[in-house]
Amino acid sequence: MCAIFGFAGFRDTALLHRMAETLHHRGPDGRGFFEGERFSMGNCRLSIIDLAGGDQPIYNEDGSLAVVQNGEIYNYVELREQLEARGHVFKTHSDTEVLVHGYEEWGRDLPKRLNGMYAFAVHDRRSGDTFIARDRCGQKPFYYWHGNGRFVFASEAKAILECPFVERAPNLAAIDSYLCLRNVPEPETMFAGIYLLPVAHSMLLKSTGEFAIERYWSVPLRTNRNYLSDGEYLEMLEAKFRDAVRLTMRSDVPVSSYLSAGVDSSLITAAAREFNDNLHTFSIGFNSPIDETRDAAETARLLGTTHHEIQVTPEDFELLPRVVWQMDRPVGDALILAFDRLAANCGKDFKVVLGGEGADEMFAGYQFHKVMPMVEKYHRLVPGFIHHGLMLPGFRATPMGILNRFFEFPADLGKAGKKRLADFLAMYGKRDLRRNYYSLRTLWSLDERHSIYADDFKHRATRDWIPPERPEDRDSGAQFLDRLLKLQYDEWLQDWALIRQDKNTMAHSLEIRLPFLDHELIEMAFQMPPHLKARGGRDKIVERQLAGKMLPPAVSNRPKNPFFLPMAYFYQNPTIREMIDETLSPDRIKKRGYFDPAKVKALVDGMAAGEFVGLKQVMSLVILELWHMIFVDRELRFP
């Protein structure tokens, strides 16, 4: 059930079928259409639940409501029981059918009752209105365009581009946020005029063409300190986690699992193994010194799974343009290639795979989750004159070799990385939480971005795109770490972590399910005290305690190994160098008009130093240019 699309305000049968063809990879098992005078929609189906009877659109008893869905409603069995008790009559065994009956029963409150990953549209044939909703964490996308009384929507932006009313134009105002974060924060995209329905939001599209958007869920912050005991929270986590895995295992086709050497995917695999004694697992490697496939294979052996190992090679970079096409929006990290290769191999034999995304966001598993609380505490204790007069100069004088020992990436921070950290420390007290969060995560600092822009473009790129501070961002009684973690659910999770999984798995007709994004599990995690998440340089403390109960000690105590593509071992390969030289040539950069060709050339030449930040900056520019070549210039065409 993995692609939806449609439009309002006009009729165009040929467009409906072109959109279906464009999204065929997301659902190759069947197509279904609803077509009216002023509203049409369709679905490309990946058959997972009710293989014989779950074709879409699905209607209610009298045919007055029609629904198409992308994703899965995990608690459909329980919802069906409730709805049947209220007199609703079901025609299928599909999870999608609970949406039409649920909308009849609960109206716009329906999403609050759903546990799953979804983007769906329920059309009311009587009123002409359409109700649309997207899941709480943004596992499934919903793109839309509107203008002159027309409205077009789809699971991928490339299907919207099939509409003759939609212009293929870049969103120039998004270039700056892309360089900063390597993605464009929703609701904007890199396409001018194409937007995303924000996560945890619903939309009511009126028959008149007007629409209203509202939020139905938000990560809850705890303001009191009346916590339960640590042991009670561990028991609650174990019960809820096992239930989340159980729900995501609901399927009429076999379910597989991604498995790295980390605790997140290992926990999911261990829990899934309890429901499936013939579980297949898949891991990815890079044939480099940081490769963790050996540890993953050992975990698979201990857990008793049938294991498959995939290696990314420099030659695979010839696939990068296609992967950028799959992604729709540019995500500026060559690691997207690894997500594609993993999905391509898993998708040969499976339609469903489990993944570990979401645990780091709940249980403080990233480096900045440890850095920012330490810096916050430091700034509250150390007077400003000592910080600026003694501590900051000392940091700037510290050799890079010493600094590298304090960070998890097995790559040198380099001069650029050290300067980034020094600037972060210098400006920390002058920024609010949200701006410090973006500053620490940025790939290109503000000065670096402005330095690389072409003179004629600087005034177009310069704008304050960072969302304003909200009341919950401030110290309103909630713990600092929880306020920091909550920020990730506004942008990082869906626009960085989840888009890489959804677009690349769906490109190979594979559905990924993420148990750690169960909203009840998230709500429970945000009720826990911070010391169960991060403390004294340790991360994911309560999760590791759970791992101690479910996994062998060699796995549960294994330190986190960041998942990144080691460009330092790859960039000199002829396949990669040829791509860099083509996409970032002075003539092409000058013609595009965004960047100073001389500055870009200096950055490319600087790759010889092998510095972590510089290599990532180059690849972010390569991916941005590939996106333009594919979607704007149509110089490269797929499939």
Residue range 100-120, pLDDT digits in tens: 999 999 999 999 999 999 999
For residue range 11-46, list pLDDT tens digits in order: 999 999 999 999 999 999 999 999 999 999 999 999
Q: How far apart are CA 517 and CA 522, in angstroms?
A: 7
Q: Looking at the structure, do residues 84 and 156 belong to the same domain, yes or no?
A: yes
Mean pLDDT of 595-615: 92
CB contact at 8 A, 135 and 129: no
- The residue among 443, 461, 459, 423 whose CA lies nearest residue 603 is 443
Q: Looking at the structure, do residues 58 and 138 belong to the same domain, yes or no?
A: yes
Q: Looking at the structure, do residues 82 and 63 belong to the same domain, yes or no?
A: yes
Within a domain: 174: yes
CB contact at 8 A, 65 and 28: no
Within a domain: 159: yes
Position 96 confidence tier, pLDDT thresholds 50, 70, 90: very high
Q: How far apart are CA 273 and CA 279, in angstroms?
A: 6
- The residue among 519, 440, 32 whose CA lies nearest residue 243 is 519
Q: How far apart are CA 256 and CA 241, in angstroms?
A: 18
Q: How far apart are CA 471 and CA 476, in angstroms?
A: 7
Domains of the chain: total: 4
Boundary-marking domain end, from 215, 248, 267: 215
- Indicate whether 179 pLDDT > 50: yes
For residue range 317-353, list pLDDT tens digits in order: 999 999 999 999 999 999 999 999 999 999 999 999 9
For residue range 579-588, list pLDDT tens digits in order: 999 999 999 9
Q: Looking at the structure, do residues 474 and 496 belong to the same domain, yes or no?
A: no
Within a domain: 220: no
Q: Looking at the structure, do residues 94 and 75 belong to the same domain, yes or no?
A: yes
Question: What integer pLDDT is reported at residue 406 of this predicted model?
Answer: 52
- Calculate the average pLDDT of the chain: 92
Q: Looking at the structure, do residues 189 and 43 belong to the same domain, yes or no?
A: yes
Question: What integer pLDDT is reported at residue 297 of this predicted model?
Answer: 95
For residue range 214-226, list pLDDT tens digits in order: 999 999 999 999 9
Token readout for 588 is 């092409």
Within a domain: 381: yes
What is the span of the domain harbouring residue 160?
A: 3-215
- The residue among 552, 522, 78, 515 whose CA lies nearest residue 272 is 515
Residues 6+ apart with CB under 8 A from 514: 117, 139, 248, 354, 355, 356, 357, 358, 498, 501
CATH number of domain containing 79: 3.60.20.10
Question: What integer pLDDT is reported at residue 32 of this predicted model?
Answer: 97
Within a domain: 13: yes
Mean pLDDT of 593-607: 96
Mean pLDDT of 152-162: 98
- Indicate whether 608 pLDDT > 90: no
Boundary-marking domain end, from 184, 215, 246: 215
Q: Looking at the structure, do residues 140 and 251 belong to the same domain, yes or no?
A: no
- Indicate whether 562 pLDDT > 80: no
Within a domain: 185: yes
Q: Looking at the structure, do residues 126 and 275 belong to the same domain, yes or no?
A: no
Boundary-marking domain end, from 466, 487, 508: 487
Within a domain: 222: no
Q: Looking at the structure, do residues 41 and 167 belong to the same domain, yes or no?
A: yes
Q: Looking at the structure, do residues 340 and 406 belong to the same domain, yes or no?
A: no
For residue range 300-320, list pLDDT tens digits in order: 999 999 999 999 999 999 999
Position 401 confidence tier, pLDDT thresholds 50, 70, 90: low
Share of the chain above pLDDT 90, in %: 77
Question: What integer pLDDT is reported at residue 1 of this predicted model?
Answer: 63
For residue range 246-301, list pLDDT tens digits in order: 999 999 999 999 999 899 999 999 999 999 999 999 999 998 777 889 999 999 99
Q: Which residue has the higher pLDDT, 556 or 98?
A: 98
Q: Looking at the structure, do residues 120 and 204 belong to the same domain, yes or no?
A: yes
Within a domain: 42: yes
Reduce the DSSP state of residue 475 to 3 states and report it.
coil
Neighbours of 40 (CB within 10 A): 21
Ramachandran quadrant class, 610 (left: phi over 0; alpha: psi -120 to 50; beta: rest): left
- Indicate whether 409 pLDDT > 60: no
Q: Looking at the structure, do residues 54 and 107 belong to the same domain, yes or no?
A: yes
